[in-house]
Amino acid sequence: MSEFEHSEFKGKVAIVTGAGGGIGRCHAIEFAKRGAKVVVNDLGGAVDGSGAGDAADAVVAEIKELGGDAIANKASVAERDGAKSIVDDALAAYGRVDILVNNAGILRDRTFKNMTLDEFDLVMQVHLTGTAYVTHAAWPHMYEQRYGRIVFTSSGSGIFGNFGQANYGAAKMAMLGLANVLALEGANRNVRVNCLGPGAATRMTNTVPGRDEDLSDPDPMRHPALVSPAVLYMCSEDAPNGAVIHASGGNYSRSEVWVNDPVQLGADATYEDLLPHVDKLIDMSGAHPRQPRAPRPPR
């Protein structure tokens, strides 16, 4: 790890949830290579959220073999006490939390017509509520120390939509709403919150019909390690705030919300008044980025 001896992450404490494999494992290893102390969280279950295992221990052992410093946590992010235990373990072992990468997730893919409400609720609980639970536990510590970097792992399935993933897409887009608010609330305390839109070959992508990639020897352009540079950037000293960064196959880009100029019809507007102006309403040719709201004073 001598090549990263002067890394800005040296001595930082990073939590990565769902880090027992795939993209999360790569994040954890890349932070550790650069001298960060890492809490590797993973329940160790199947892609659908069932079961448990020791995946976190294996990644910790891998990091220690590289000369890094890491501990394992096997709690579920979807349970309040479990989520809090992840942050508590970081504080007990290392005394602070600087970085939180919310990566844990599961899949229960079906078309909405065939999806049960239990399948909808479970995916929302892990992705959205689990992200909120862990972030809520870490937030006051970052807020008081006036430093924090938080990444929410969103997805193109939510940002742009994807057939058969109503539960997953809803959770992933809801993360963006939460991140937008927290980016405002943390700005004056140097707590920056961003969203990741990743693309890589993982256990989760292998559940998609037609996908059956050899994860022991993935296509180099679909390797999950290619996502991690974007995460490290969003957790750096010079990280943006409130950004959505996409990372897949060595390609990195940003997306944001754009709006057009309003059709101004006044306080007495009716449906019939709007009809002659729908072309202007729908036209995005002159659209521009939406101006962010100014942060309110803390309370």
Residues with a known catalytic role: 168
Task: Report d(CA 94, CA 176) in Å as an integer.
Answer: 30
Q: Position of tokens 């839109």?
A: 197
The tokens for 11 are 């001595």
The tokens for 106 are 């599961």
Contacts of 284 (CB under 8 A, 6+ apart): 258, 260
| Residue 164 buriedness (CB in 10 A; 0-12 / 13-18 / 19+) | middle
Q: Position of tokens 């972030």?
A: 135
- Select from 98, 107, 44 the least CA-distant residue to 75: 44
- Select from 179, 119, 187, 118 the least CA-distant residue to 154: 179
